[in-house]
Amino acid sequence: MNLGIRWKVALGTLAAVFVGLAVAGWLVIRSVEQTELSRMAETLETSSGLAAMTLRPLFDQSGSTVLGPLLHATVRDLSQQAHLRITVIRQDGTVVADSAVPTEGLTHVENHLSRPEVAQALRSGRGMDIRASQTTGERTYYVARLLSASTPAQPGISVIRLGLPLTSIDERVRHIQQDLATAFGAAFLLAMTLSLWVSRNLTKPLSEMAAAARQLAGGTPGVRLVVSSTDEVGLLAQTLNQMTDQLETKIKEVSDDRAQLLAMLIAMVEGVMVLDYRGTVVQVNPALERMFSLELTESRGRHYAELIRHEGLTALVSSVLQTRSGQGGEITLSPSGRCLRVEASIAGGSREQEACAVFVFHDITELRRLEKIRKDFVANVSHELRTPLTSIKGYVEALLDGGKDEPATATAFLEIIMRQSNRLNLILDDLLQLSQIESGQVLFRREPVDLR
């Protein structure tokens, strides 16, 4: 059974109080019984001595009864005066007088030689025992002694035994038990009330702390505990408030950092893919989704090879994850023909869903196209420059070979050279103008144009 701390404290306190009251009650009752038994033992010892002195003259030297009827009458008188049961027993165990048994019934009383108190008295002169009487059935305190002062008993000496029923002690013990039960019941109820009150006051702040902790675990912000004491519970509440403040600060910092990171990932034109040590996708940004036509809900938690099937990329990722070193390379996507530059760096994670490697994809398709255009342009320009230069060189060689000696021929050759030089100059002007346009140094003049 799962009990709260309030009931554990209350039940533990009540159990301790109950055990303490039970032990105290048992000790009180035992002390009363011992006190009463000690007082009874003194009373019986004194009464037995007086009774022995009274009955001794009724026996002769051999221990035989001189006056039997007088013995019975004396025993009954002593019993009535002392409120005791008095029994006279011969050394052989025969009962010769008993205040609780009529004279004619003595013949039916069994032999008392085996009674513990009688056997002790015959051995040492004194004897006692507490037991239920076989004659009356009552629990009785017995004290026995020899009629004479001689020890050990001489032949023929009788034993006088006094018995006091313990009904008075039992009755008093019952009254004490009833009084103790009433007092202990009231004390137990008071202790129960106090323990419940104390446990409630003690555990109420703890319950509030547990509720606050559950709210914090559920993500509820701004949870605070009211510190109303300066003891350990109050210190714990104050510490929990401080921990809550620090936790909220840390959560805010992490949230801000995460928001900034996501903003940067979303704003990046480069594609970003974060993998753990097994190659499972931890994070991708929208640019990568657009590059490979992926969906965010399908990407996270899946292996990269299930999302992007490319031999070159698979080789690069496998090499990075195995060697744990930064690498790079270029891949070309088909059938679109897009060219991507991939740069890989190690983040150091070694657990599931923890960043191990970060891959950045740069779309260099336009750059490669421009490079191709530039190469083609250079080739075309080279061809355009070579044509006039070749013509100029040929006519110059012709002039040098003798054409200069013929004025008409020389004039025609020089005109051709002039035209090719002008053509070359125009090409150079076009190149210079293209260079200025690319560098942004040319300002275009905009004017309305009639298209009719």
Condensed to tens digits (0 to 9), the pLDDT of residues 81-104 reads 888 888 888 888 888 888 878 877
Its domain, for residue 135, covers 5-172
Length of the chain: 452
Q: Which pLDDT value is given to residue 87?
A: 84
400/271: higher pLDDT: 271
How far apart CA 150 and CA 122 sit, in angstroms, is: 10
Say yes or no: 251 and 313 in one domain. Answer: no
Whole-prediction pTM: 0.46
Find tokens 């006091």 and name the residue: 164
Q: Which pLDDT value is given to residue 376?
A: 82
Report whether pLDDT(63) > 60.
Answer: no
Nearest to 13 by CA among 156, 201, 143: 201
Say yes or no: 276 and 228 in one domain. Answer: no
Answer whether residue 286 is part of any domain.
Answer: yes
Answer whether residue 177 is part of any domain.
Answer: no
The backbone torsions φ and ψ at residue 212, rounded to the nearest 5 degrees and listed phi first, read -65, -40
| CATH number of domain containing 332 | 3.30.450.20
Say yes or no: 167 and 33 in one domain. Answer: yes
Q: Which pLDDT value is given to residue 297?
A: 61
Say yes or no: 325 and 351 in one domain. Answer: yes
Domain boundary, last residue among 150, 172, 194: 172
Opening angle at CA 232, ends 2 and 3, nearest 5: 5
How far apart CA 410 and CA 403 sit, in angstroms, is: 6
Say yes or no: 143 and 282 in one domain. Answer: no
Say yes or no: 358 and 381 in one domain. Answer: no
Mean pLDDT calculated for residue range 197-202 = 73
Lowest mean pLDDT among 41-55, 118-132, 172-186, 203-217: 203-217
Answer whether residue 293 is part of any domain.
Answer: yes
Q: Which pLDDT value is given to residue 361?
A: 92
Q: Which pLDDT value is given to residue 177?
A: 78
How far apart CA 311 and CA 295 sit, in angstroms, is: 21
Q: Which pLDDT value is given to residue 360?
A: 93
Lowest mean pLDDT among 200-204, 361-365, 409-413: 200-204
Mean pLDDT calculated for residue range 225-245 = 74
Asked if 86 and 161 count as a contact pair (C-beta separation under 8 A), the reply is: yes
DSSP secondary structure of 185-235: HHHHHHHHHHHHHHHHHHHHHHHHHHHHHHHHHTT--S-------SSHHHH
Q: Which pLDDT value is given to residue 185?
A: 82
Say yes or no: 353 and 384 in one domain. Answer: no
276/101: higher pLDDT: 276
Answer whether residue 348 is part of any domain.
Answer: yes
Mean pLDDT calculated for residue range 109-131 = 84
pLDDT grade for 358, boundaries at 50, 70 and 90: very high
Asked if 123 and 152 count as a contact pair (C-beta separation under 8 A), the reply is: yes
Q: Which pLDDT value is given to residue 2?
A: 62
Q: Which pLDDT value is given to residue 15?
A: 81
Number of domain units in the chain = 4
How far apart CA 146 and CA 49 sit, in angstroms, is: 9
Report whether pLDDT(393) > 90.
Answer: no
Report whether pLDDT(359) > 90.
Answer: yes
Say yes or no: 79 and 128 in one domain. Answer: yes
Domain boundary, last residue among 329, 363, 397: 363
Answer whether residue 199 is part of any domain.
Answer: no
Domain boundary, last residue among 345, 363, 381: 363
Q: Which pLDDT value is given to residue 248?
A: 79
Share of the chain above pLDDT 70, in %: 89
Mean pLDDT of the chain: 80
| CATH number of domain containing 400 | 1.10.287.130
219/259: higher pLDDT: 259
282-320 tens-digit pLDDT? 888 888 888 887 775 677 888 888 888 888 888 899 899
Say yes or no: 124 and 19 in one domain. Answer: yes
Single-letter code of the amino acid located at 329: G
Answer whether residue 40 is part of any domain.
Answer: yes
4-14 tens-digit pLDDT? 666 777 777 77
Burial label for 408, CB within 10 Å (0-12, 13-18, 19+), is: exposed
Answer whether residue 235 is part of any domain.
Answer: yes
Radius of gyration of the chain (CA): 62
Say yes or no: 57 and 111 in one domain. Answer: yes
Say yes or no: 18 and 159 in one domain. Answer: yes
How far apart CA 335 and CA 205 sit, in angstroms, is: 68
Single-letter code of the amino acid located at 61: Q
Answer whether residue 179 is part of any domain.
Answer: no
Say yes or no: 67 and 109 in one domain. Answer: yes
333-343 tens-digit pLDDT? 888 788 889 99
Omega of the bond prior to 335 within 30 degrees of 0, cis? yes
Q: Which pLDDT value is given to residue 417?
A: 83
